[in-house]
Every structure is written in C-alpha cells, then in structure tokens.
Structure 1
Amino acid sequence: MNSFDFNTSPDRAGTDSIKWRRYAGRDVIPMWVADMDFAAPPAIIDALHARIDHRVFGYADPWPSLAEAVIEGIARDHAWRIQPEWLVWLPGVVTGFNVAVRAVGQPGDGVFTATPVYPPFLHAAANFDQRLVTAPLAHSGTRWEWDWPATEAALQDKVRLFMLCNPHNPVGRVFEHAELSRIAELAERHDLIICSDEIHCGLVLDPARPHIPIATLDEAVARRTITLMAPSKTWNIPALYCAFAIIPDAALRTRYKRAMAGIVPHVNVLGLTATEIAYRDCGPWREALLDTLRANAARVFKAINALPGLSTTPVEATYLAWIDCRALIAERGIANAAAFFEAAGVGLSDGKDFGLPGFVRLNFGCPPARLEEGLERIRRAVIS
C-alpha cells in the first residue's frame, strides 16, 4: 500500500477536466464536482495500455471474466452474491436511474427522493413527464436522518418509484439496517420499485458502518429493487463511462431493458477493461485511498467546526463534506455561500443545486496539502 502516492497529483490545469476548467486563469482551488485529483490505480493504467496496444477496437460485449470480477468483488466487499444474469451494463449511473424512471412510471406518476440529494435525482422525473415528490432529511445536530412522517406523507402522492442514494451524496451517510428495513417496509406497503444509487459503496470511511445493499435485506426487497453501481467514484475513472444495474427480478429486468432499447449506447470497451481490473486487482489501492480520505475527512471536520458560522457532520462515506453555512450567511449578510467562498479562492458546490440553499459541498478527494490550502482560504474568508 505504501507504494501508492496520494500526496501529489497530476497537473489538471489546462486539460479536459470539467472540474479545473471552470476556474481557468483564476486563483481558485476546484473542490466541487465529485471526481478526485488522484491518478487512477497503476493496474488500471497498465490494463488500458495493454488493450490499446492490441490496436483493434471493434464492437465488443462484456466478457465472462469481467462479470466474474464484478460478482466476486461485490461478494467480497458487500457480502452479496449476485448472479451473472442480474447484471445490466450501462454507460453511467445517471443513465441508470433515468432508465428506471422511464421503466417504472407513466406520465403524471410520482418519483420520490429525499433532499438534499445529488442534483440529477431532482431532474430525472421531469425528463419523462413524471412528478418529483420529495421529503427533507432531518438534521439531528450530529448526523442526517430520515424524517419518517414526512416520507410517509410524500409517498401517498401517487408515487411509483423510490429513488434512494446510499451511501448518500451529499450528506455522507451510510444508512443502517433499521433505516433500510423501514424503507423496504414502505416500498412493500405502497407497492413501490426502489432504485438504489450505490455508486459510493466502495468509499465507506467508518469501518463500524459497513455498506448494506438494500436488495440484500430479503428476497421480497430484491424483487422490487434496481441497484446501481459503478467503479467510477471508488477508483476515480468516471470519464471511462462504465456502470451496471443489478436487477434480480426477471420481469423487472425485462422492463428495464425495454426502456433502454434504442437510446442507451453500449459501454465503451476501455471502461469495461478498467472495470474488470478495478474489481479484481485494485483492492489494495482502494484501502490505501481510504486511509488518505479518512485523514482528510478528519481535517475537514475539525477545521470547519472550529469556524464561526460553519458546521458539518462526520462523513461516514464518500469524499464529500456537506457544510452548513446558514449561520454565517445570516450573520454576515452573504447572498450566496458558494459565491462567497469562490471569491476567497475555493470552488465549492452550491447547496441550492441539491435542493437545500445555505449549504455547500466540499470535495476532499485531493492531496492533503491542497486540502489544507483550501481550508486555510475558507478560514481566512470567515474570520476576515
């Protein structure tokens, strides 16, 4: 593990990076969109070189050793033994939950999610003339939790699909067995399909809170669940565009594939290549990454909670911190927290895009020295 370098990163300024091009020519540290500044695992780089050296790029389908690597990786990391036929390959998780909306509901039906949440969740329903129905997560002071009465009330509104984000982006929760069981009970009672975005499942920082795929609760839950996973966040390869849905129920899987037909492209062969290597060979790299992210998360928690007007809760998973700026905004008369910190040289995600103004999201998936500089700029802006 010690051979992996998480103290430096390749220079991304002036490249194709969406993250870095936003602030081109400005002294702003990008800490917004959810990709890390670390190089991908060496084993993935080597595998991509080998595939390119083959020099032929004809049409390709996923191959048996790829499926085996994913199946064994999920069994190893999440104690879930899936079957090869349950896998449906996708170019991305966002595609995956949009397909779920299309497959499950009809125009006018409700699609439920809890806010704040990853912004594409908030737009998927409207893409298919369906209605977004939400309930807020509750901030207990030390963590974010479900507001069960509000969730129950929202599900009365002709909802067909329950869109779950676990581990949660942006609040960093790993939902516990009791919470997932409550969701499963609601889905059973209201006859809902669950679409569970579990893209951050490989980035659990708190070893005491392992990720539990909701489909593992029992066979009844599995039959009504579409689980979405990808190697992109864990191994920092989002632009290779490879993801997959796990759909145990054959009838639901058929509906899902029918909704994909003619509009969802095949997955890029380089993404498939990288996925096999990630799940099969890159466990040590992931463990070393998690050590770095745990230390970075502790830095963020300590630094932010030491500042007047700011607070954050512990990050149980992801490399994303959700920061409450409402007291600072009220005290200083700040119109927009993200713009305030951008002017101070730190580019953060605006909470309003997640459905909760007054917050910002900070990506700490970067070398510790860069994180320290970003936190120092935040500190100077707040105390000035």
Structure 2
Amino acid sequence: MPYDFHTPITRKGTGCIKFDRRPELDPFWVADMDFASCPEILEALHSRVDHGVFGYAQAHAGLNEAIAVYLQERHGYSLSSEQLVHLGGLVPALSIAARAFCKPGEAVMTCTPVYPPFINVHRDAKAELITVDHVRCDDRWTFDWNGLEAAVTEKTRVFLLCNPQNPLGRVFDADEVERIARFCSDHDLVLVSDEIHCDLILDEASTPHHSALRLPDELRQRCITLMSPSKTWNIAGLGYALAVIEDDSLRRRFCAARGHTLTEINALSYYAAEAAYRDGEPWRKELIDYLRDNRDALLTFFRERLPQLKPVVSEATYLAWIDARDLGVDNPASFLKQEAGLFVSDGAFFGWPGWFRFNFACPRARMLEGLEKIARACAKPAAAATD
C-alpha cells in the first residue's frame, strides 16, 4: 500500500524539541522526521493504551522474538537471548560503555565529524578524549588509518564507531569495519558500534550495511553492537534501544555500569519496537524511496543553485552534511539563523566548524522551501554572523 510522506503534519506546539525549542525558526536540525510513524506501530500503541494499566514493564516474548527474526533476516545473525540487553536509549549506552571500560584518566577514541555525544560521553567516565578526523580517499570519506595508529595510546580503552556515519552518511564496507575491529584488537580496545541508522541505507544494492555482528568470531568478542528502531520508524521520543554483547564478561561489566542512573524503559516503547521490527518493513521500504528522492533533489539544488556550498553525497541517513567554508562567514549555522530564519545543526558541535547539517526527512515541498531560504540568504552580501 502507498504511504503518505507528502502531507505536512503540524508539530509546533506539541512539545517536540525540533519545532518548539526555537519556535521562531524554521527547523531542519535534530534527527527526527516530520512523518507519522507507520500504521502498524500506531495500532500496537493504541492496543497497549487500551489495556489501561502502565505499571513497571519488562521486555515481553513478542519483542524478543521480533528482534531475533529481524537480526537473522537483516543481518544474518543468530541471537542468543542472553546476549540481548534492552536499553532506554542509545546515547545512554555510549555513556555506559565509557564508564564500564574506562577508569578516570584513561581514554575514549572516535573519529570526527561525529554525532556530538560521541565527543562528550568521556566526561561521564572522567576519561580523556582522542579524536582523529575522517579523510577523503578515492572520492569517499573513510578512516585515517595512519592517524589512528599515531593517536592511540596505552591509556585508550574504548573506540566509538558510528556506522552508518552521522553526519557524513557513509556506509562503511566490510573491509573497513573489519580493519577497525582489528585495530581495536591490536590495541586491546572495546569496540562500541553505534548502528542506529543501519536501516536507513539509501541504496542497499551498492552500499550494503556491514554490521559488527558479521565480524569474525574472535573480533565480535570485544564488541558491543548498538541498534534501535527509533530513527528509522520515527519513534525516538519513546526511548528504546538494544545492545548485543556476546562476551559474558563484557556484558556483565556493561550492565553493572548502568547502576541506578537509568529509569525503567517505557511500557509503550517495548510494543512500538516490536511492531517496528515485526511489521514495519513495507513502510520502511517506501520511506527509503522517498528519502532517496529527497536527497537527490537536495543535491541537484545545491549543484545548480548553490555551488559555493558542497554537500556530501549521503549513502545513508536523512542528514545532509554540507561544507560551507567557502561561504565567507564565521559560523554558517548562525548565519542561516539570522539571514534565513533556519535552524540547522552547527558543524562545530560535530567537531568540524565551517560545516552544517541539514535534515531532509520532511515533505519534499517543505524541504525545497528551506533550501530556497538558504539560496536567498546566500545571495546577500557575505558578512560574518554571530548567534
């Protein structure tokens, strides 16, 4: 059946941070979508609400079964129930990993630009942060392998991998994922693989996702794989994620680090996650088609109308990463707030000033309106902007 991704849905005034944090601005920043979630998820939530009792919850058999089937069908992975850890969100999982495997003064390592929590969770463990920039090679962004070897230290304990990469939109191939895993093995690092965007691959035939769950057995033993239905099915506000941790010792240390700092998982989120993994595939496929067309329209717009801005060609996610260093302003995100009335994500928060991130997961007409605002702002005399 065809799903409707074209019709705008009013979100302002609903308590969502995307529209209500800066209501005077047109928002294309935080990574959620302006589409209603798939009907099967809404039906599951209505059914659970109709039950009327919302006491403390735990994962039910239907969710565990749906996850196991999903992992087998999408990633070729056979899940054992004891390897699965349910979580109230993926960002807390990054913090848990830092606290579980780093003592104060030790180090967390990652590559930039990257989703801002990656370069902040080390503080929760009183650890240090080591970053290495991604580099462009053969017209694709990849790892600076020599830079990683030069930067890693004896104090480094954890490597945070973002795959698919946010904000670059890269889908790292099997060789890259295995090379990172072997780098971690060589330096005795725990590999934490954030794969929250793994179901948002825009062309799975040419750039299939290679999960850390597909690594050779000996490399998986030092790996924590994080996933969530939140981005793909637009249920981030319900707060659910999962970790797959094969090694018993690693899993015990990870779970122990949760302590009493996390709330109980939302009673509704379990049922939304089950419906997403069990019944959400038809909706997901149509979503991908729509997002790919949005991405292509965005790339065409920048090529024809805004050649001074250079977007990376996203292989995954619904987030365009745009090089605005030729724009001639001090802070592109602030410039667009002042001159275009737009709220976009500042590249400095990802570790790369001079860039910005633009969320194109919205009705196409709305996306094009936002791009027109950027074009009008860039047609004005360049002037440094401050927020």
TM-score bin, normalised by smaller chain: over 0.9
**1:122-133 alignment to 2 at 5 Å?**
122-133=119-130
Q: Which residue of 1 aligns with 2:368?
A: 372
Q: Secondary structure at the match of 1:43?
A: helix
Q: For residues 321 and 141 of structure 1, do their structure 2 counterparts lie closer, same or farther at Cα, with a shift above 3 Å needed?
A: farther
**1:94-133 alignment to 2 at 5 Å?**
94-133=91-130
**1:193-272 alignment to 2 at 5 Å?**
193-207=190-204, 208-272=206-270
Instruction: Report how far residue 63 of structure 1 moved.
Output: 1.2
Q: Secondary structure at the match of 1:112?
A: strand
Q: Secondary structure at the match of 1:113?
A: strand
Q: Which residue of 1 aligns with 2:385?
A: none
Matches of 2:229 and 2:75, distance apart in 1: 14
Q: Secondary structure at the match of 1:308?
A: coil
Q: For residues 103 and 336 of structure 1, do their structure 2 counterparts lie closer, same or farther at Cα, with a shift above 3 Å needed?
A: same
Candidates 57, 60, 77, aligned match of 1:80: 77
Q: Which residue of 1 aligns with 2:355?
A: 359
Matches of 2:79 and 2:322, distance apart in 1: 36
Matches of 1:138 and 1:263, distance apart in 2: 37
Q: Which residue of 2 aligns with 1:309?
A: 308
Instruction: Report how far residue 236 of structure 1 moved.
Output: 0.2
Q: For residues 157 and 116 of structure 1, do their structure 2 counterparts lie closer, same or farther at Cα, with a shift above 3 Å needed?
A: farther
8 Å contact 1:133–1:157 — kept in the other structure? no
Residue 335 in structure 1 maps to residue 330 in structure 2? yes
Q: Secondary structure at the match of 1:65?
A: helix
Q: Which residue of 2 aligns with 1:279?
A: 277
Q: Which residue of 2 aligns with 1:319?
A: 318
Q: Which residue of 2 aligns with 1:382?
A: 378
Instruction: Report how far residue 73 of structure 1 moved.
Output: 1.1
Tell me the amino acid that sits aligned with residue 89 of structure 1: H
Tell me the amino acid that sits aligned with residue 147 of structure 2: A
Q: Which residue of 1 aligns with 2:384?
A: none
Q: For residues 41 and 377 of structure 1, do their structure 2 counterparts lie closer, same or farther at Cα, with a shift above 3 Å needed?
A: same
Tell me the amino acid that sits aligned with residue 104 of structure 2: P
Candidates 80, 89, 108, aligned match of 2:86: 89
| Residue deviations 1:1-46 (CA, integer Å, cap 9, x gap) | 41x110013200122010001331x2x3210000000011111111
8 Å contact 1:142–1:313 — kept in the other structure? no
Normalised by the length of structure 2, the TM-score is: 0.95
**1:29-44 alignment to 2 at 5 Å?**
29-44=26-41
Tell me the amino acid that sits aligned with residue 132 of structure 1: L
Instruction: Report how far residue 316 of structure 1 moved.
Output: 0.5
Q: Secondary structure at the match of 2:257?
A: helix
Q: Which runs of 5+ in 2 are unaligned?
A: 381-387
Q: Secondary structure at the match of 2:289?
A: helix
Instruction: Say how many residue pairs are matched.
Output: 377
Residue 51 in structure 1 maps to residue 48 in structure 2? yes
Tell me the amino acid that sits aligned with residue 28 of structure 2: M
8 Å contact 1:13–1:21 — kept in the other structure? yes
8 Å contact 2:75–2:213 — kept in the other structure? no
8 Å contact 1:110–1:160 — kept in the other structure? yes
8 Å contact 1:223–1:248 — kept in the other structure? yes
Candidates 186, 199, 210, aligned match of 1:189: 186
Tell me the amino acid that sits aligned with residue 336 of structure 1: N
Q: Which residue of 1 aligns with 2:10?
A: 11
Matches of 2:318 and 2:198, distance apart in 1: 12
| Residue deviations 1:60-105 (CA, integer Å, cap 9, x gap) | 2111111110111122122222222111111100011110111111
Instruction: Report how far residue 298 of structure 1 moved.
Output: 0.6
Q: Which residue of 1 aligns with 2:383?
A: none
8 Å contact 2:56–2:264 — kept in the other structure? no
Instruction: Report how far residue 157 of structure 1 moved.
Output: 5.0
Q: Secondary structure at the match of 1:144?
A: strand
Matches of 1:83 and 1:265, distance apart in 2: 25
8 Å contact 1:33–1:363 — kept in the other structure? yes
8 Å contact 1:97–1:124 — kept in the other structure? yes
Greater CA deviation, 241-250 or 141-150? 141-150
8 Å contact 2:330–2:354 — kept in the other structure? no
Instruction: Report how far residue 140 of structure 1 moved.
Output: 4.1
Matches of 1:297 and 1:157, distance apart in 2: 42
Q: Which runs of 5+ in 1 are unaligned?
A: none
Matches of 2:297 and 2:219, distance apart in 1: 38
Normalised by the length of structure 1, the TM-score is: 0.96
- Identity, % of aligned pairs? 46
Q: Which residue of 2 aligns with 1:155?
A: 152
Matches of 1:287 and 1:155, distance apart in 2: 40
Q: Which residue of 2 aligns with 1:349?
A: 345
Tell me the amino acid that sits aligned with residue 345 of structure 2: S
Matches of 1:141 and 1:305, distance apart in 2: 20
